[in-house]
Structure 1
Amino acid sequence: MKKLFLFLGIILPSLMLQAQKDFDTENIMILPDSELIIAGSTNVNKFNCVFDISLISGWKKIRISREERFLRFHELYLPLRTDGFDCGNKRMNSDFQDLLMCDKYPEIRIKINKIELFPGEYNKAYVSVELAGKSKDYELPVLVSKEHFIGKFKINIRHFGLEPPKKALGLVEVDEMIEVQFNLNLDHQ
């Protein structure tokens, strides 16, 4: 039994070091001219809530592993403060923050897990979205280059335990499907 613990004590750290060596480190910056929008609609009109990119810009170290057709990312998150969205006016901003329960969950976290590379223009991104304390995985087409990360995907807010609000005595109803649109312009060091 002592030999087993000694063996594990020697092998596990070396395996962990090997796994860490498989990731390359890069420095990237999301540039201020990038866009991230949550678009939705009601039975009356459409709305766009635009995220303040300055809240996630700045240089960040990311760890990437390249294997066959995949780029795998180690703990690559976009932390989006719920109070960082502007929906066009104070009332809509307040309603949006209430919907997302920003007092209890002040952040939406988008984790980029991996990108599957295909010949041609578009690739496939595998992301996880954490919203209101729940997480859901998505696969979506993305346009990826050294300078851009562009795509969009739809989510059903009910999957996160959120109820679409009704306003004006129930005459205005928010659709449960919203679309996350992003056009991230990148710089590398």
Structure 2
Amino acid sequence: MKNKIIIFAILLFSANAFAQKNGLEINGWTNVNTFKCSHPRFKNSGSVYSFTGNQLPNISVSVDDFDCRNKMMTNDFRKVLQSDHYPNLNIRFLEFKKSNSNKFEAVVEVKMMTVARKYSIEFSLYNNSLVGNKRLRFSDFKIVPPKKMGGMVYVKDELDLVFSLETKD
């Protein structure tokens, strides 16, 4: 029950933050603090997505365009995802269906570096945008979460992929 409340709060916050716009964030935790890495270029892309027929979205974004609002954190994020060798993060919709009036279910493939994983994600319709959130793990993509200061500060394995996609009516 607690997890559902947290997910609902994240979706509600994300829906308000991304209202009628595209948005892509990766949120995570360290043993000391939290971090949020957003993708301003995707947010300002002006893209509008269609979820009808068999032409589902295939989104590719540059890892170097993520901004964690802290230069050192941004550089560490890009280094962990090896942006010099794997410049893009890819999100491909494989299935999409309506489950009730404002809820949708999708199967999405997320590819980081050389690893692609499929996830079921629930989306909510809010102001002509589909808002979704999925808890992932660095280890899902064979990434060891980074440590600093001899392991005194470490990034937890879990992270949230939060996104909003402006849709056509």
| TM-score for the superposition, normalised by structure 2 | 0.79
Q: Which residue of structure 1 aligns with residue 22 of structure 2?
A: 34
Partners of 1:63 and 1:124 in 2: CA distance:
11
Q: Which residue of structure 2 aligns with residue 139 of structure 1?
A: 120
Q: Which residue of structure 2 aligns with residue 83 of structure 1?
A: 64
Q: Which residue of structure 2 aligns with residue 4 of structure 1?
A: none
Query: Are 2:140 and 1:152 aligned?
Result: no
Greater gyration radius: 1
Q: Which residue of structure 1 aligns with residue 36 of structure 2?
A: 48
Partners of 1:75 and 1:123 in 2: CA distance:
14
State the aligned residue count.
152
On the 8 A contact 1:129/1:135 being kept in 2, the answer is yes
Q: Which has a greater percent of strand?
A: 1
Give the AA of the match of 1:109: N
Give the AA of the match of 1:86: D
Identify if the C-alpha distance between structure 1 residues 60 and 152 changes in structure 2 by more than 3 Å, giving closer, same or farther.
closer
RMSD over equivalenced CA pairs, Å: 2.6
Render the CA deviation track for 1:96-144: whole Å, top value 9, x for unaligned: 0011011110000000122121123312111000111110000011014
Identify if the C-alpha distance between structure 1 residues 39 and 33 changes in structure 2 by more than 3 Å, giving closer, same or farther.
same
Partners of 2:49 and 2:101 in 1: CA distance:
28
Partners of 1:184 and 1:60 in 2: CA distance:
7
On the 8 A contact 2:63/2:87 being kept in 1, the answer is yes
Higher relative CO (CA 8 A, sep ≥ 6), structure 1 or 2? 2
Give the AA of the match of 2:107: Y
On the 8 A contact 2:24/2:162 being kept in 1, the answer is yes
Unaligned runs of 5+ residues in structure 2 are 1-18
Partners of 2:49 and 2:155 in 1: CA distance:
38
Identity among equivalent positions (%) equals: 26
Q: Which residue of structure 2 aligns with residue 172 of structure 1?
A: 153
Unaligned runs of 5+ residues in structure 1 are 1-30, 66-72
Render the CA deviation track for 1:78-101: whole Å, top value 9, x for unaligned: 111101110012111110001101
On the 8 A contact 2:50/2:168 being kept in 1, the answer is no
The 5 A counterparts of 1:88-107 are 88-107=69-88
Give the AA of the match of 2:70: N
| TM-score for the superposition, normalised by structure 1 | 0.71
Render the CA deviation track for 1:47-89: whole Å, top value 9, x for unaligned: 0001123477245786842xxxxxxx43621111101110012
Identify if the C-alpha distance between structure 1 residues 83 and 59 changes in structure 2 by more than 3 Å, giving closer, same or farther.
same
Partners of 1:76 and 1:38 in 2: CA distance:
19
Identify if the C-alpha distance between structure 1 residues 117 and 54 changes in structure 2 by more than 3 Å, giving closer, same or farther.
closer
